[in-house]
Chains A and B, each alone.
Chain A
Amino acid sequence: MGVWIILDTKFVALLLLIAAFALFYAYMALAKGGMKIKARTFPAVAAIPEAIGRAAEMGRPVYYSTGMGQGTLNNQLNGPQTLAGISILGYTTRLCAKSGVKITYFTMIADSLPLVEETMRTAYMAEGKPEEFDPAVAINFQNEQSPYLTASLGWIQREKPASSILMGGFYYEAVCIGEAGNTIGAMQIGGSANTHQLPFLVATCDYTLIMEELYAASAEISGNLDVIGSLRGEDILKFFVLILLGLGFILALVNNNSLISLLKV
């Protein structure tokens, strides 16, 4: 087994994974220990209180969705996006509860329902208003993409939300919901790590979180030093990846595939 481990390229990937985890942990520990780490503010996250304030002034509700996310949390690409969206939902719900603004969450991800209900209920409880949370009003679930989109579009046309927040794993519904929000003049904040929907979110939303910013947003919202420290670790890792890219480019120029073979899984 020992010889097999050394010769298998997955072992290199495992070493890199452990190194990445060690880097994150190191910076988390350093940040908690007092190292000053400054993370830039995401305009999209900073705009959330503005969006809720707008809704409060106009007396209109807020629309929130984490996208179709392939209908399940058990999806490598979309599950984490949905979870990140739910984290931001908790923050948004708390602001809504504080301002007395109604928020409705639309989803087609059945296995996220217990998480969402718990998150929203806790947000209302944190503001001392547990009686104001009613899952039958605040959460709207549809089983498939088309009914979820129809429900969203219909609700947006009827209720005319002042703000619309789209954070998660979106597919073609991003452009439909975004345009529907634009039609009624809603302030829109979007975010997704699905590359194919980013152009539509950027075109239809006033503020957008792009790719990793969606995952980093909850770190910024929490304000926890160690969590922000992991963002620094992530940035250091990016430099390392850049170095690898440069090295790979130079080796490819001289027809050397050793680095590719080493990193292939």
Chain B
Amino acid sequence: MSGQNIWDKLQNVDRRVFYWILFIALTVPFLSPIGLPITVTPSTQSYYDGLKSIQSGEVVVLSINSGVSAWGDCLPAMIASVHKVYDQGGKLIVWSIGYTDVDITWAKIKEKLPDVFSKWKEGENYVYFGYCPGQETNVALLATNIRAIYPKDVRGVSTDQIPLMKDINGANKIKFVLSSDTGDAQMYYIRQWKNGQVNYEKTGKPPTVAEMGIAMNKSGDMAYYLSGDEFGLVAGSRGAAELEALTGYKGDATITMDSISVSHVLLVLAIILTNISMFATRGKKK
């Protein structure tokens, strides 16, 4: 348009230009990794310390309430967590309270950890129950009667016949819950388990909760971590990369950190540019 200088045009750039620049910039680190160091935040350190506290034979629940679309943020943390549970000699119960693609997520976790699942025996070291829709209602019922929601596991084996579940039918035998979700699922466990009437028999305290969430929810979840409702918080790819650094199991999150660095720098540059153009055109109008 006539009368428009570079600063005016910058303010009205077609967003598709930015999308292309971003797309190209994001692919470069995948082809040529940079490998920047990652420092660990307190919330992830607390999460890892919680995993380290697992004694041999203690049972932990992995509640997968994130869909495949959130794999980028949540899957690496789940993989690192399962690996650490295995390292500590713990046992794992896996279920979902409402996401239909949990089967694919669990299959992916098993695919990424062949060294764990070649030694772990299903039914003795871990059990996978699949999903049952119901969200918080389910969580409330699971606190006192797991068999009411999951009478059998995905293999069709009755829960009564699963060795791991022999004496377990509620939260009182569960050390803690690792909730991977894209929304509020960890709050269900906080409300129904941690603040409920069930104590973990070994400590006499309620079973605790930790969260592996998406980066978008970090600001909201942080309040729960800081108040002590959660013992740890791993938020987004950054949190997952920190957890991978702590567990020593480097995975997809560490690889994506370079792309995150590039995209964030690009965004900051774009913001600075648009503000300069805004001030330049404002000065011109005056």
Binding site for B on A (CB under 8 A): 70-72, 74-78, 144-146, 171-172, 183, 194-196, 264-265
Contact = CB atoms under 8 A, between A and B. Distances in A.
Contacts of A77: 184, 187
B182 A171 contact: yes
Contact of A171 (B136, B183, B187): B183
B29 interface: no
B15 A72 contact: no
A146 B219 contact: no
A261 to B, nearest CB: 13
6 contacts: A76-B191, A77-B187, A172-B182, A183-B15, A195-B219, A195-B220
A78 B135 CA distance: 12
Interface in B176-227: 182-184, 187, 191, 195, 216-217, 219-220
Given A145-B67, A172-B216, A195-B220, A74 B137 contact: yes
Nearest to B136: A76
Interface residues of B, number: 20
B216 A70 contact: no
A146 B135 contact: no
A196 B187 CA distance: 14
Nearest to A146: B69
B164 to A, nearest CB: 30
A113 to B, nearest CB: 17
Interface in B1-41: 15
Interface string B217-239: 10110000000000000000000
Contacts of B187: 77
Given A76-B136, A172-B216, A70 B184 contact: yes
Contacts, number: 37
**Interface secondary structure of A, over-half rule:** loop
Ordered nearest first, which 9 A-B pairs have the shortest CB separation? A195-B220, A196-B217, A196-B220, A77-B184, A196-B216, A76-B136, A75-B135, A265-B195, A171-B183
Contacts of B183: 70, 171, 194
A145 B187 CA distance: 21
Nearest to B135: A75
B98 interface: yes
A5 to B, nearest CB: 15
A64 to B, nearest CB: 22
A72 B219 contact: no
B67 to A, nearest CB: 7
A264 B43 CA distance: 23
Given A74-B134, A172-B216, A195-B219, 11 more contacts: A70-B135, A71-B98, A72-B135, A76-B184, A76-B191, A78-B184, A146-B69, A171-B182, A195-B220, A196-B217, A196-B220
Contacts of B216: 172, 196
Nearest to B188: A76
Contacts of B134: 74
A51 to B, nearest CB: 23
